[in-house]
Amino acid sequence: MTQRMLDFEASARAALADASLQRALAGLPGGLVAERAAAKARLPEFEALRDAARDIRDHTLRNLDLYLKAFERRAAASGSRVHFASTAAEARDAILAICRAANATLIAKGKSMVSEEIGLNSHLEAAGAEVVETDLGEYLVQLRGERPSHIIAPAIHIDQAQAAADFRRRHTHLAQDRRLEEAPDLVAEARAILREKFLAADVGITGANFLIAETGAAVIVTNEGNGDLVALLPKVHIVVASIEKVVPTLEDAATLIRLLARSGTGQDMTAYTTFLAGPKRDGDPDGPEACHVVIVDNGRAALLGSEFREVLRCIRCGACMNHCPVYNAVGGHAYNSVYAGPIGAVLTPALIGLGEARDLPNASSFCGRCEEVCPVKIPLPKLMRSWREVDFARREAPLAARAALEAWAFCAKRPRLYHLATRLAVLALKMAARGRGAFGSFPLARGWTRHRDFPAPQGRTFHELWAKTKRGASA
Amino acid sequence: MSRDRVLATIRASLGCSEPEDEERVAAVERRLAAPLRHLIPACASRPHSERVGQFTRSLREQSAAVIEAAAPGRIPEAIARYLGEAGLPLRLKLGADPFLAALPWQETPALERLQGPAGPGDAVALSSAGAGVAETGTLVLLSGRDNPTSLAFLPETHIIAVAEAAIVGALEDAFDLVRARLGRGAMPRSLNLVSGPSRTGDIGGRIVLGAHGPRRLAVIVYKTDEGAVGAP
């Protein structure tokens, strides 16, 4: 594949030059980083819980077929209809068929990344339904015709003034001179508009943070309570979840829940964590008449047999994005992918093909913070490196990049040649620097020197200094 | 069929041969039949005497109001006082919960009660919690006729009554309570863990209460003569 859909370089450059995006990124996700650190400090067992969480996810993945079957059995026993979809298209069609059978014209949605992944909204809209996102961030993103830029904070790229402008532009039935100065003004306006949608919707669609094999329940974690209203008020509730969301028991979910909010927002627990099993029962005065669970594969089952299987441990907390220097610099949209940040860099090539997403595993400085904070200890840098290796082996990377890597490898495998080359380079640079400590500009490295000096070598290579200090002398 | 295709792909990826190896099936059945308790943090296993304070503190940190009642009989007046002081309507929506029904409502005649699920016009609702979790300041609500789920999400103010004796340390303890009450494997249609009023940070990163659910959560912790769950 030569035509790449995802040009990370171009969008990253645009993102760096986007003043309002940079303003929005300056406060968050850094704030979330501090909140997580505080939450971790309050819980001395945090690291031990990460080990337990990793083990839970690995055990489940090793027995994924069996836990899915157990979930299916128990969900059916509580009155849910369980559907499997091996591709995004199958999932979209299954959901559309349910909506059609319910004669749905208005569909309310809770936040769901897998619904973004399968392109659900546009599919339902093309069939004539109105689809309304109800998570405030998702609603804002939908008003703007964008996609979420963060897993748990979809509108993290939008500041309050922009949100107010969007509300004025799109909520044309309200007085133009109304007050929208403070965040609570905007929240109140959205609450009133969306409350009508909850009450009028024919079908509610939510994702699931977990599926519990023991009880057949889907777990929805929110702070707004929107997922609960979506699941409660319309007469049909559809859960859409990917295959790896299943966990064995409530105890397993408890450990993961202990880490989920703390890792994502730094809360000990979100305002609402809800375990939903099936439709309204005899005597229930509220709840949906029918309940469906659509379990989506979309490439994950095959991934399970690959070197990338650890990415399926992910519980979608967003900590890897919050802590990623690349994400913090360019935001989520630059990744041009449903999943951004380090998790997106590993997951996206698996979902849409490496040819389309080659830039993403390269959008990392390998600083390793993502792995350090991941609640289920996904070795994200290792997996990004694996993608780079796959890419190199396929010989599809741009010629210049390949040639440079091959030249470096040629030298690195020949120590004498490597030492000679580095010595010459260091000498040449020292002479070129003519006594100055650094270069203010440097050919072929303007991207670097535009923002900072390039230090000039002082005459010795690393190997020479190492050889000297190893003999006992301090440098 | 998609289902079989997905499951077959998983099995192929896992390198499992047909028929399913008995060992794997047995291990999974064991885990489902006897859930494995993982590490319970120290903050989730304090003695009952400390739990109530921990529960109250956590809820207040999450912007909930916490009111103590010396006995179940004091709950109606506590509600009337809370609503009066907050300038809220003295009209409650609640379910058929027998415990709530048996409270001495005649002592607060100004407090009007309506039974049933919440509708869009209801401003204040009252629920009775099955348990409280000290670890995170969490209320455990069980759906059904007694405490309809809509009470927890539609009104702007939600009041939840919880017995001091039902405040457990860890989330796992709350699950055990529900299992003991309903039997293994049986769960209410909806098990709602509530840890504060509805909130959002989606507008410019600032936390605003009352995104879609209640703006106000008031928790009434009442004393009973019964011993605490898992006391001391």
Q: What is the pLDDT of residue B231?
A: 47
Beta-carbon separation of A223 and B43 below 8 A: no
pLDDT band at B232 (very low <50, low <70, confident <90, very high): very low
List the single residue in B3, B10, B116 with the smallest CB-CB distance to A285.
B116
Tell whether B211 lies on the interface with A, counting CB pairs under 8 A: yes
Please report whether residue A323 resides in a domain: no
Q: Look up the ipTM and state it.
A: 0.96
Which pLDDT does position A112 carry in this prediction? Answer: 97
What is the model's pLDDT at position A472? 55
> Considering just the CA atoms, what is the radius of gyration of chain A in Å?
25
User: Chain B contacts of A252, Cβ < 8 Å?
Assistant: 35-36, 38
A3: pLDDT confidence band, cut at 50, 70 and 90?
very low
Give yes or no for B26 touching A (CB within 8 A).
Answer: no
Kindly report the nearest CA distance between residue B120 and chain A, in angstroms. Answer: 8
CATH number at residue A56: 3.40.50.10420
Query: Smallest CA–CA separation between A238 and chain B, in Å?
Result: 15
Q: Is residue A27 situated within a structural domain? A: yes
Alpha-carbon distance of B121 to B119, in angstroms, equals: 5
CA distance B145 to A388: 57
Question: How much is the pLDDT for A458?
Answer: 77
A271: which chain B residues are within 8 Å (Cβ-Cβ)?
Answer: 62, 194-199, 213
Sequence-separated (6 or more) residues with CB below 8 Å from residue A375: A49, A50, A53, A256, A259, A260, A262, A263, A315, A317, A319
- Flag whether A343 is in a domain: no
How many angstroms away from the CA of A201 is the closest CA of chain B? 14
**What percentage of chain B exceeds 70 in pLDDT?**
95
Q: Which of residues 64 through 93 in chain B touch A, CB cutoff 8 A?
A: none
Q: Does the beta carbon of B19 lie under 8 angstroms from any beta carbon of chain A?
A: no
Partner-chain residue, chosen from A42, A52, A224, that has the shortest CB–CB distance to B211:
A224
Beta bridge partners of A163: none
Distance in Å, alpha carbon of B111 to nearest chain A alpha carbon = 23
Section A285-302 average pLDDT: 97
Residue numbers in B near A65 (CB within 8 A): 7, 10-11, 14, 16
A401 pLDDT exceeds 70? Answer: yes
End-to-end CA distance of chain A: 50
| Reported CATH class of domain B43-222 | alpha beta
Q: Is residue A60 part of a domain?
A: yes
Compute the distance between CA of residue B19 and CA of residue A176 in angstroms, rounded to an integer.
67
A38 to chain B: which residues are within 8 Å by CB?
A: none
Question: For residue A256, is pLDDT > 70?
Answer: yes
Which residues are A259's β-sheet partners?
none
HEC profile of chain A: CCCCCCCHHHHHHHHHCCHHHHHHHHHCCHHHHHHHHHHHHHCCCHHHHHHHHHHHHHHHHHCHHHHHHHHHHHHHHCCEEEEEECCHHHHHHHHHHHHHHCCCCEEEECCCHHHHHCCHHHHHHHCCCEEEECCHHHHHHHHCCCCCCCCCCCCCCCCHHHHHHHHHHHCCCCCCCCCCCCHHHHHHHHHHHHHHHHHHCCEEEECCCEEECCCCEEEEEECCCHHHHHHHCCCEEEEEEEHHHEECCHHHHHHHHHHHHHHHCCCCCCCEEEEECCCCCCCCCCCCCEEEEEEECCCHHHHCCCCCHHHHHCCCCCHHHHCCHHHHHHCCHHHCCCCCHHHHHHHHHHHHCHHHHCHHHHCCCCCCHHHHHCCCCCCHHHHHHHHHHHHHHHCCCCHHHHHHHHHHHHHHCCHHHHHHHHHHHHHHHHHHHCCCCEECCCCCCHHHHCCCCEECCCCCCHHHHHHHHHCCCCC
Chain A within 8 Å of B181 (Cβ-Cβ)?
A: no
Q: Which of A2, A400, A332 is nearest to A158 (CA)?
A: A332
Minimal CA separation from B106 to chain A, in Å: 26
- Determine if residue A283 is left, alpha or beta; phi over 0 gives left, psi from -120 to 50 gives alpha, anything else beta: left
Nearest to B34 by CA among A328, A287, A48, A248: A248
Query: Is pLDDT at B224 greater than 60 in this prediction?
Result: yes
Mutate to test the interface with B, among A275, A303, A304 (most CBs of B within 10 A): A275
In this prediction, residues A117-128 reach a mean pLDDT of 98
- Interchain pair B10, A248: CB under 8 A: no
Residue B20 has pLDDT above 80, yes or no: no
Cis (ω within 30 of 0) for the bond into A29? yes
pLDDT score of A473: 58
Q: With respect to residue A263, please indicate whether it lies within any of the assigned structural domains.
A: yes
Taking only the tens place, the pLDDT of each residue in A352-394 is: 999 889 899 999 999 999 999 999 999 999 999 999 999 888 8
Tokens of A371: 């792995």
Residue A455: domain span? 410-470
Tell me: the pLDDT tens digits for B108-162?
Answer: 999 999 999 999 999 999 999 999 999 999 999 999 999 999 999 999 999 999 9
Domain boundary among A301, A330, A345: A301
Cβ-based contacts of A249 with chain B (< 8 Å): 31-32, 35-36
Does a structural domain hold residue A173?
Answer: yes
Per-residue pLDDT at B18: 67
Q: pTM here?
A: 0.93
B192 shares contact with chain A (CB less than 8 Å):
yes
Residue B200 pairs with which residues in a beta bridge?
B208
Q: Which residues pair with A240 in a beta bridge?
A: A294
The beta-carbon neighbor of B206 closest among A45, A183, A231 is A183
Decide if A331 is inside a domain. no
Higher-confidence residue of A409 and A293: namely A293
- Please count the residue pairs, one from chain A and one from chain B, whose beta carbons lie less than 8 angstroms apart: 269
- How many domains, in total, are found in chain A? 2
Say what the pLDDT of residue B227 is: 62
* The two structure tokens encoding residue A104: 């749905």
Contact criterion met (CB below 8 Å) for A136 and A118? no
* Boundary-marking domain end, from A301, A331, A355: A301
Name every chain B residue with its beta carbon within 8 A of the beta carbon of A134: 212
B189/A280 Cβ within 8 A: yes
- A163 and B42: CB-CB below 8 Å? no
Q: Residue A475: its pLDDT value, please?
A: 45
Question: What are the residue ranges of CATH 3.40.50.10420 in chain B?
Answer: 43-222
Is B175 an 8 Å CB contact of chain A? yes
A29 vs A137, higher pLDDT = A137
Q: Which of the listed residues A301, A334, A355 is the one where a domain comes to its end? A: A301
- Per-residue buried b or exposed e for A348-382, using 16+ beta carbons within 10 Å of the residue's own CB: bbbbbebbbbbbbbbbbeeeebbbebbbbbbbbbe
pLDDT at residue B229, rounded to an integer: 58
CB contacts, 8 Å: B135 with chain A: 268
pLDDT at B230 over 80: no
Q: Which of A66, A84, A217 sits opposite B6 (nearest CB)?
A: A84
Q: Which of B6, B194, B198 sits opposite A86 (nearest CB)?
A: B6
Asked whether the predicted pLDDT for residue A424 surpasses 90, the reply is no
Give the chain B residue nearest A138 (alpha carbons): B202
Residue A213 lies in a domain: yes
- Residue B114 in contact with partner chain A when CB distance is under 8 A: no
Residue B26 burial class via C-beta count within 10 angstroms: exposed 0-12, middle 13-18, buried 19 and up: exposed
Scan for tokens 């020479």, then name that residue.
A464
Residues of B in contact with A268 (CB under 8 A): 58, 135-137, 195
pLDDT given at position A394: 84
B194/A252 touch (CB, cutoff 8 Å), yes or no: no
Angstrom distance (rounded) from CA A17 to CA A26? 14
Determine the distance in angstroms separating the CA of A103 from the nearest CA of chain B, rounded to an integer. Answer: 24
The predicted model gives A13-25 an average pLDDT of 90
Distance (Å) from the alpha carbon of A83 to chain B's nearest alpha carbon? 7
Contact A195 B212 (CB under 8 A): yes
Q: What is the mean pLDDT of residues A421-449?
A: 80
Mean pLDDT, residues A74-80 taken together: 97
Calculate the average pLDDT of chain A: 92
